Chains A and B, each alone.
Chain A
């Protein structure tokens, strides 16, 4: 997403190209691994590697400050989805302790043309997103986990991604920040 000129008017890419490329990646992984659990794991790991790099782009583009509250984080993650995928998920289902929330997607650009075949009902098709979120949060010294609780590919009405705050990575906070 290299860009010239004004920052927020990023050079737009047709999302279908992206959707299809991701589809090719997943189907290749299915061929390579055969075991669906391994594919889920690989997708998460790839997402992590993307997340640790993508966070810098997010910070450089939005000039956002550090989050001192998980509600800030939720908004930033939402903003990230808008920036990089062009969708605005709804933030809902806060846990009473405020350390867990859900992102609900009406539509997920990753799954636009996808129907899951019967033999891979345990495949978490968009699992790369959980990795991206984990990697990105880790770089700003927050450990989170996330998982899909509802998936339109599996017959649910919406796709729901649950995100849980684990801890602040105190050791990793850069000097002059804490």
Chain B
């Protein structure tokens, strides 16, 4: 049982909740000598591997640290520019750590609001009238399950493709939402859910499902 993440999108299309569940962390550290045999570029405020995949360092991975010093943007935390360090032969050998890039909260909000029109388009493209929107979106590495309530709130779960019983999980999350978010008098509708009780109950729901399977909740 692997659920990668849970998202809730409000009636008006804003991301009001996200929870990263079980995303395996992939990081590789390796010592490099001059000249560097990996092509790196600066893109979207990250330094990304574009070519020269090997030893667990994949195209698309980002540079996390140089000699243990973390990288932010194209700068090291001590103020030096990463590309200047990498071009200077005197600095070598260098210990570079690469990993999969993490989505920032802003990127998640952006993607959630992209899904909203996609869902609407899907229902309009349908050859049959009165089609629902996207309920399942499948890729080779994940499957996205979406459940829209009658009031227009969307619950989404990103999970492994072969994962069964996600509809049950989505309904359970809806119940938790109606209990611990909506019945909290200090939660205002359409706003991001910052309710600790909701978080803990969601976490324990996901843990139970992970250990005992969907049929036991």
* Chain A residues within CB distance 8 Å of chain B: 1-3, 7, 52-57, 59-61, 63, 65-66, 139-140, 172, 174-178
Cβ of B171 within 8 Å of any chain A Cβ, yes or no, is: yes
CB-CB under 8 A from B69, the residues of chain A are none
Which 3 interchain pairs have the tightest Cβ spacing?
Answer: A176-B133, A175-B120, A176-B123
The chain B residue sitting closest to A57, CB to CB, is B178
Query: Given the complex of chains A and B, what is the CA–CA distance between A1 and B171 in angstroms?
Result: 18
From A7, A53, A54, A56, contact of B149 by CB (8 A) = A56
Cβ of B131 within 8 Å of any chain A Cβ, yes or no, is: yes
Does B151 lie within 8 Å of A176, measured CB to CB? no
Does B131 lie within 8 Å of A56, measured CB to CB? no
> How does the 8 Å CB contact mask read for B161-174 relative to A, with 1 for contact and 0 for none?
00000000001001
Contact (A176, B183) CB under 8 Å given A56-B178, A59-B149: no
Does A66 lie within 8 Å of B183, measured CB to CB? no
From A3, A57, A65, contact of B182 by CB (8 A) = A57
Does A56 lie within 8 Å of B174, measured CB to CB? yes
Contact (A66, B150) CB under 8 Å given A56-B182, A174-B11, A178-B130: yes
Does A175 lie within 8 Å of B133, measured CB to CB? yes
Does B182 lie within 8 Å of A176, measured CB to CB? no
Does A60 lie within 8 Å of B171, measured CB to CB? yes
How many Å from the CB of A170 to the closest CB on chain B? Answer: 13
The size bracket of the interface on B is 20 to 34
Contact (A2, B183) CB under 8 Å given A56-B151, A174-B152: yes
Cβ of B177 within 8 Å of any chain A Cβ, yes or no, is: yes
How many Å from the CB of A51 to the closest CB on chain B? Answer: 11
CB-CB under 8 A from B124, the residues of chain A are 175
- For chain B residues 172-201, which have a beta carbon within 8 Å of chain A? 174-175, 177-180, 182-183, 189
How many Å from the CB of B34 to the closest CB on chain A? Answer: 56
Cβ of B17 within 8 Å of any chain A Cβ, yes or no, is: no
> How does the 8 Å CB contact mask read for B141-152 relative to A, with 1 for contact and 0 for none?
000000011111
Contact (A140, B171) CB under 8 Å given A53-B189, A56-B177: no
Name 24 interchain pairs, CB-CB below 8 A, sorted by A.
A2-B183, A7-B175, A53-B182, A53-B183, A55-B151, A56-B174, A56-B177, A57-B178, A59-B150, A59-B174, A59-B178, A60-B149, A60-B174, A60-B177, A60-B178, A65-B150, A140-B150, A172-B152, A175-B120, A175-B133, A176-B119, A176-B120, A176-B148, A178-B130
Does B151 lie within 8 Å of A63, measured CB to CB? no
Does B175 lie within 8 Å of A61, measured CB to CB? yes
Query: Given the complex of chains A and B, what is the CA–CA distance between A7 and B130 in angstroms?
Result: 31
CB-CB under 8 A from A172, the residues of chain B are 152
Cβ of B132 within 8 Å of any chain A Cβ, yes or no, is: yes
CB-CB under 8 A from B11, the residues of chain A are 174
How many Å from the CB of B211 to the closest CB on chain A? Answer: 17
